[in-house]
């Protein structure tokens, strides 16, 4: 079960999984993205890639959905609708190309994404509120999230430099991530179902068991978010992602 034998080994693995889900959901509840990046790395290191992508997608789908629901009054639905337009175009392109990366490529993509928030505003002065930028974000985010499993740092380029409050940023990003993770789950599940590959997808019971853990972490993170200022929210995000990115790049290039 889950690639391990013996009750003790299974319990240890489940403890790692649920601890990672709680901590990363808490981080996502605070920063809106860092948790997903960390969780994708943990799952990719432990499980086969399709297993990791689907389990991560299910957990993040409900974590983001729950986070958005808790502060739903702050969701900017106009931005979500425009994001969806670009997302539909990306989904169509992925169906035509249908390329699935290996683990090394995923770690490298995750590492590069972690440094995206450091791009100077003079280079990419992006604001999701501006005309056509939410549509561009939808196209880029849907494609990257489906292939790399995570796209939070790219979302940050479009959101964190806007004049939105931290609650509006987290809530609206959560809504767009629900769309992104639904797409990712389908992209990685269908080929496995068609090939009938045993053990390549997470068991339903594991997905269900992880959901309340993710929801609890998200709720706790939301309480912390309420006590932060907008300035500290933006600065902490960059430094957390930088540390994560260094680790992922080292893993992708075989240095650790």
Q: What DSSP character marks residue 3?
A: T
DSSP string of 75-110? --HHHHHHHHHHHHHHHHHHHHH-----HHHHHHHH
Specify if 11 maps to a domain: yes
Residue 19 CA to residue 26 CA, distance in Å, equals: 11
Q: Would you write out the chain's pLDDT as a tens digit for each of its 256 residues?
A: 576 777 888 889 999 999 999 998 888 777 766 778 888 888 988 898 889 999 999 988 887 888 788 889 999 999 999 999 999 999 888 888 777 788 888 888 888 877 877 777 666 667 888 888 999 999 999 998 888 888 877 787 787 678 888 788 888 988 998 999 999 998 888 877 777 566 678 889 999 999 899 888 888 887 887 777 666 666 677 787 788 888 889 888 876 6
**pLDDT for position 77:** 94
The Cα–Cα gap between 74 and 223 comes to 15
Domain count, the chain: 1
CB 144, CB 86: distance < 8 Å: no
Identify the domain containing residue 145 by its residue range.
7-252
Any domain includes 164: yes
Please tell me the distance from the alpha carbon of residue 244 to that of residue 37, in angstroms, as a whole number: 8
Q: What share of the chain is helix, strand, coil (3-state, %, to 5)?
A: 80, 0, 20
pTM of the model: 0.82
Report if residue 163 sits inside a domain: yes
Whether 2 is in a domain gets the answer: no
Distance of alpha carbon 237 from alpha carbon 115, whole angstroms: 11
Kindly state whether residue 202 falls inside one of the protein's structural domains. yes
Q: In degrees, to the nearest 5, what angle opens at C-alpha 37 toward C-alphas 133 and 143?
A: 40
Nearest partner of 38 among 110, 117, 112, 145, judged by Cα: 110
Q: Indicate whether 1 belongs to any domain.
A: no
Identify the pLDDT of residue 231.
62
């Amino acid at each position: 079960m889950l690639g391990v034998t013996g009750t003790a080994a299974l319990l240890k693995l489940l403890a790692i999984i649920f601890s990672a889900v709680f901590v990363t959901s808490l981080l996502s509840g605070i920063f809106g993205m860092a948790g997903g990046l960390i969780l994708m790395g943990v799952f990719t290191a432990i499980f086969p890639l399709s297993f990791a992508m689907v389990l991560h997608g299910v957990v993040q789908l409900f974590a983001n959905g729950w986070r958005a629901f808790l502060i739903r009054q702050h969701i900017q639905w106009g931005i979500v609708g425009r994001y969806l337009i670009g997302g539909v175009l990306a989904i169509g392109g992925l169906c035509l190309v249908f390329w699935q990366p290996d683990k090394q490529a995923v770690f490298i993509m995750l590492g590069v994404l972690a440094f995206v928030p450091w791009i100077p505003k003079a280079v990419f002065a992006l604001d999701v509120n501006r005309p056509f930028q939410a549509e561009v974000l939808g196209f880029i985010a849907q494609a990257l999230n489906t292939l790399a499993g995570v796209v939070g740092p790219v979302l940050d380029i479009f959101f964190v430099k806007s004049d939105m409050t931290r609650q509006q940023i987290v809530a609206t990003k959560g809504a767009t991530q629900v769309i992104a993770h639904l797409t990712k789950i389908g992209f990685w599940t269908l080929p496995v179902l068609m090939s009938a590959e045993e053990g390549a997808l997470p068991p339903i019971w594991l997905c269900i068991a992880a959901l309340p853990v993710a929801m609890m972490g998200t709720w706790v993170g939301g309480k912390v978010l309420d006590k932060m200022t907008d300035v500290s929210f933006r600065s902490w995000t960059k430094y957390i992602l930088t540390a994560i990115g260094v680790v992922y790049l080292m893993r992708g290039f075989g240095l650790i």
